[in-house]
Amino acid sequence: MALDWLAVAGFGLLVLADLPGDTAVPVWAVVVLTAAMTLPVGFRRYLPRTAFGIVLVATLSSLLWDWHYDWFAAAGFTLYTVAVGHRARSRVLTTVITGIVLSVFPCLTVMGAPSPAPEMLTSLLIGCVVLGGAWSLGQAVQGRRDAAAAAARQLADQRVAEERLRIARELHDVVAHTMSLIAVKAQVANHVGAKRPETAWESLRDIESAAKGSLTEIRHILGILRTGDTIDEAVPRLADLPGLGARAAAAGVELHVHAPSPGPLPAGVELAAYRIVQEAVTNVVKHAAPARCDVSVTVESRELRILVENTAGRAASATSVPGHGLRGMAERVAAYHGEFHADHTADGGFRVTASLPLPSGVS
């Protein structure tokens, strides 16, 4: 705003300095035209088209009355504001104007105005170049702003998509693990309910415990999403891996975990490693129970290496189709630029390996 009124003062001084002493134009007309050529500049941000129209008409009137040969400086200044706020459907007009300006301006600079030529014609010619340059510059600025806004929207959409993917992975890992266990225990309860009610009640207690644990994890996840906080102590970590053994054993999987304390790790890497192991064990419960499953988590060469391998079970098959679980594990590893492999073993079991690079300073 202050810059606009400073420009008003500057253009006013420019007009007054160029006033001829022997002009026949009435004083009132000089005052009105001078005000019309300068004051609208102060309102160019609020009424850009109106300000440009008034300044342009006043400038042309001063040329017609032959008392002031303005080079359309104030008009070009206000036209720049109009161009910045104008979103053209096509850039053809701007391209043509820019081409003309780039062709005429060097000619005027090097060769000068046509001679002989009235001073009014020279001012009009220079004014056209000034207006064309102002329009081209304003459209260029508008184009850059549009491109920056489009890039910002694209980045925001990408972040939203990444956040949705992260939420989907977290919920899938928590819910899939628990529901797999619940499904297995429900089948047991349904199968032995009439003959061995005590076993059925034990299965129901396992279902209750698994459901409560899953609800607790989901509440923690939703709490983090609502507040935007970072991962805290409530989120599972590698130290909690042995806790998967009790749930897996309830579903008929003999789980052996070898995960010596690796020392302090980034919270995101630790959570990703836990979820990878959890999902791999969930797949064993769903597709191979009863079976033996060995889990190893170690730090070697600045990498967190994960190995989950199970023996052949009831549903082991070389033709099994990868589902959301394997895809989710691969996405977690890719997020940290690591390596992921999953394949059947020679004895009919299944092996999942993953490596997550660790930042410098972690060993």
Mean pLDDT in order along the chain per 10 residues (363 residues)? 76 68 68 83 87 87 71 84 78 62 54 53 74 85 88 86 73 68 74 76 76 70 60 68 83 87 79 89 86 92 91 60 74 89 91 89 59
In this structure, the answer to whether residues 11 and 117 fall within a common structural domain is: yes
In this structure, the answer to whether residues 146 and 288 fall within a common structural domain is: no
Q: In the prediction, which pLDDT does 117 show?
A: 47
Q: What is the pTM of this model?
A: 0.49
In this structure, the answer to whether residues 148 and 261 fall within a common structural domain is: no
Which of 154, 169, 204 is the last residue in one of the domains? 154
How many whole angstroms separate alpha carbon 363 and alpha carbon 360?
8
Peptide bond into 357 cis (omega under 30): no
In this structure, the answer to whether residues 143 and 266 fall within a common structural domain is: no
Q: In the prediction, which pLDDT does 62 show?
A: 80
Q: Which domain holds residue 54?
A: 2-154
Structural domains of the chain, count: 2
Residue with tokens 């923690």: 220
Residue 91 per-residue DSSP state: S
Which of 127, 154, 181 is the last residue in one of the domains? 154
Is residue 227 in a domain? Answer: no
Residue of 279, 214, 281 whose CA lies nearest to 252? 281
Is residue 234 in a domain? Answer: no
Burial class (CB in 10 A: 0-12, 13-18, 19+), 347: exposed
Q: In the prediction, which pLDDT does 233 show?
A: 46
Residue of 315, 297, 313 whose CA lies nearest to 305? 297
Is residue 161 in a domain? Answer: no
